[in-house]
A and B are shown apart, each in its own frame.
Chain A
Amino acid sequence: MLKYAFRRILGMIPMLFLTSIVVFSLAKLMPGDSLSGEIDPRNTDPKYIADMREKLGYNDPLPQQYFHWIGNFVQGDFGKSTRFKIPAAEVIGERIPNTLLLGLSSILITYILAFLMGSYSGRKPYTLGDNIIGGLNYLGLSIPSFVAGVFAIFLFSFTLGWFPSNGSIDIGVTEGTLDYWLSRLHHVFLPAVVLGLLSTASYTQFLRNDIIENSRKDFVRTARAKGTPERKIYNVHILRNSMIPLITFLGFDLVAIISGAIITETIFTYPGLGQLFLDSVGTRDYPVLMTLTMLFSFLTLIGNLVADVFYGIVDPRIRLE
């Protein structure tokens, strides 16, 4: 197993290298460059700008520029944000906790909801409750997250007033207090539900079908014959078997959250990485844009890796390839 995981991790390195070339080329293809972040904005003398361009290496051949950039990149120097005039790492670091909180709460909500609905539906298939859950699932799979987000804001923020419609924190709450954390959770709840909608629906469906399938297997019949209480059969015997495949979805969750965060954070004006990414595209803040694109690509790679490795644990046949 370790060998398999190790092989997969080694396979990631060329992928990362290729991705970095693509990201670099894309950034070079974009109009303009990130000069304005590095030079003194008050000095607009053309000679000074030309000198600075030379000094910063913008006239070097492209491969040299690439190795300069990637060399700095792996050492943790991501360049200076042209918009905020501070290192890109700081700009991004500031936003990471927000997106992390959003992603974690989304996964938590997804798993809790999917577990409750899926195990109910699986236990009582083809009943009214199962059909209602099935209908909701269809809706969850079909309604795009931005439509769901817009409706959620309209209903829960504006009409009912239960949740705030934007931001990540109330104004005037001191950091570290209980109120602070409650306020943050209050703000993150709605975007997290919207972000997890699609996975909630598919997990519920998966869990339901798996429970129904497992409940027809021989070990369940044996358990029934022994006189095991019905509740114990479902909670211990079946659920334990049905939960395992669900864990393997965790890697795909990571991938889904990256794309989802861009949309969800924009709708809820939640100050996270997704919103920062769109802002940096809009304002042509290349250092931040490139770093974020690399970060997202890296996380997608990790997500796919985690999915593969978990699959390898659950289904040993995959390891031999």
Chain B
Amino acid sequence: MEIVTEKDPKIFRALPKKSLSPWAMARKKFKKNKLAMASLFFLIAVAILSFLAPYITTADVSRINIGEMSLEPSSKHWLGTDRAGRDVFTRLLYGGRISLLVGISCTVFVILLGTLIGSISGYFGGAVDSLLMRFTDFILNFPFLVFVIVLNAILFGKINGLWVLIGTISILSWGGIARIVRSKILAEKENEYITAAISIGCSPAKIIMKHLIPNILSTIIVQATITFATMIVAETGLSFLGFGVPQEIPSWGNMLNSANEPDVLQFKLWIWVPPALIITITILSINFIGEGLKDAFNPKSRR
């Protein structure tokens, strides 16, 4: 596919130059992907707006204002107010904070746990591998939503609500990552440089951290992106059902929860359409970034 022929003057001229590192190549390819770049900018913008929420809006996010219930969008309330008189725009910003925070924390935990278990399992093999993989199978065989809801119901009120949610989602979601990391490690450890590292007396921890993980990092990054989208869906979905983030904390899912009332759904569009749209567009852009990364890291794709 990538035979350099002398007939192609452009490649021929470029030859004496130092070739790019795989990371630089991926970066270059990613930058050329307009859809992924636009998505990245959108995501960064949403994140900045959400985390700077207290400086952007002055409205009180939690105060219930009976005088201003269900107002339509106006110059004072850009997106109107909800059924408790709270400003929808303000809640959207604060909600983004929570939804993104839960998404990021869950992703970090899931990736750490999945990579840890997957790499140990793949590197050591044998009894360790089969024990850890049976455990992974066991976790994967739980219907995710069912157990998150039950665990949430048990732990609710005992620990701060947000961390219950992050913990339960993370504990039940690392199985897929562990499997993928394991299979990647299994393939990677057959290389000669690993034998060399073992022969000069590197400890297993060092081999995994210094030699194996960096070489499968591109897979982990792509998986992290996909996981991030899944985790946001999980949080918003659970909150929508009323089993996620506690009701008093605004999150995108909690805001969409009001669409369960037929009156709001039918006549008060400004209450539920903004969170619905922002959830969808956020997920869409994360998926585009994920596709872009996958493409960028794939040396075979030439786009």
A residues whose Cβ falls under 8 Å from a Cβ of B: 15, 18-19, 22, 26, 29-31, 138-139, 141-147, 150-151, 153-154, 158, 165, 255, 258-259, 262-263, 266-267, 277-278, 281, 289, 292-293, 296-297, 299-301, 304
Contacts and interface: CB of A to CB of B under 8 A. Distances in A.
A262 B284 contact: no
A266 B241 contact: yes
A178 to B, nearest CB: 30
Contacts of B203: none
Contacts, number: 107
B75 to A, nearest CB: 26
Given A138-B287, A142-B280, A147-B280, A19 B150 contact: no
Contacts of A304: 140-141
Contacts of B283: 142-144
Given A139-B284, A150-B265, A277 B146 contact: yes
A153 B153 CA distance: 29
A214 to B, nearest CB: 20
Given A158-B265, A278-B241, A143 B280 contact: yes
B279 A144 contact: yes
A277 B150 CA distance: 10
A189 B283 CA distance: 26
A151 B265 CA distance: 9
A60 B223 CA distance: 47
Contacts of B269: 154
B40 interface: no
Interface string B132-153: 0000011011111111011101
16 contacts: A15-B137, A18-B138, A26-B147, A138-B287, A139-B284, A142-B284, A146-B237, A146-B256, A147-B256, A147-B276, A150-B265, A259-B146, A263-B145, A266-B260, A289-B150, A297-B142
A278 B142 contact: no
Contacts of B262: 158, 165
B160 interface: no
B228 interface: no
Contacts of B236: 144, 146
A296 B147 CA distance: 10
B285 to A, nearest CB: 9
B297 interface: no
Contacts of A26: 147, 150-151, 154
A153 B265 contact: yes
B272 interface: yes
B138 A258 contact: no
A145 B280 CA distance: 10
Nearest to B35: A138
Contacts of A146: 236-237, 240-241, 256
Contact of A154 (B144, B229, B265, B284): B265
Interface residues of B, number: 37
Given A263-B237, A281-B150, 4 more contacts: A147-B256, A255-B143, A293-B150, A297-B141
A105 B295 CA distance: 36
B30 interface: no
B243 interface: yes
B266 interface: yes
B47 interface: no
Contact of B141 (A141, A259, A293, A301): A301
B279 A30 contact: no
Contacts of B151: 26
Interface string B274-286: 0010011001100
B142 A150 contact: no
Nearest to A262: B145
B287 A141 contact: yes
Contacts of B259: 150
Interface string B217-252: 000000000000100010011001101000000000
Contacts of A139: 280, 284
A145 B272 CA distance: 15
Contacts of B146: 258-259, 262, 277, 292-293, 296-297
B4 to A, nearest CB: 25
B266 A158 contact: yes
A296 B259 CA distance: 27
B150 A150 contact: no
B287 A142 contact: yes
Given A142-B283, A143-B280, A144-B233, A19 B145 contact: no
B154 A147 contact: no
Nearest to B259: A150
A296 B143 CA distance: 7
A281 to B, nearest CB: 5
